[in-house]
Amino acid sequence: MNNSIDPGNFKFSQEIQVRWTDLDPLYHVNNSIYIQYFEIARGRYMLEAAPTWDWHKNMFLLANINCNYLKELKIATPDTRCWVRTKEMGTKSFVLEYMITTNGNDIHTVGTSIQVMFDTKEKSTISIPEWLRNELHTYEKPGSILIK
């Protein structure tokens, strides 16, 4: 994982409220909670980046997720945000990249997840629908999605 992620590559961010219950005994966010922050932001990102998405008809499975912790995150740090972008797109899967920041530019965590398109009726993987490819390409900055 490249820890020198360029914040300028991200268009979407979701404000994150750090809750008391997110903290561990050292009073910083517990490592498992970052994945929940990614999940919250991923859902909001998909609604904004792919506005015609219908969760009852189209589904993806999470095939992989990783998180690199760079700097502790505490409850009272202002402007906590989770940034999301589509980084790569294959035939059946796509990679989302995440970055959690505070104060506009302090990077605390970076990560990625791999989503695989899935037909819930047939119980099998499927190709990324053309409409989804188009919406993600249109939403993201031109040329920013690596095609594999």
**Structural domains of the chain in order of their starting residue, each with its CATH number:** 7-140 (3.10.129.10)
Looking at residue 1, its pLDDT comes to: 43
**What is the pTM assigned to this prediction?**
0.93
Count of residues in the chain: 148
27-73 residue pLDDT tens: 999 999 999 999 999 999 999 999 999 888 889 999 999 999 999 99
Residue 40 in tokens: 């919250």
Looking at residue 3, its pLDDT comes to: 47
Measure the CA–CA gap between 67 and 50, rounded to whole angstroms.
24
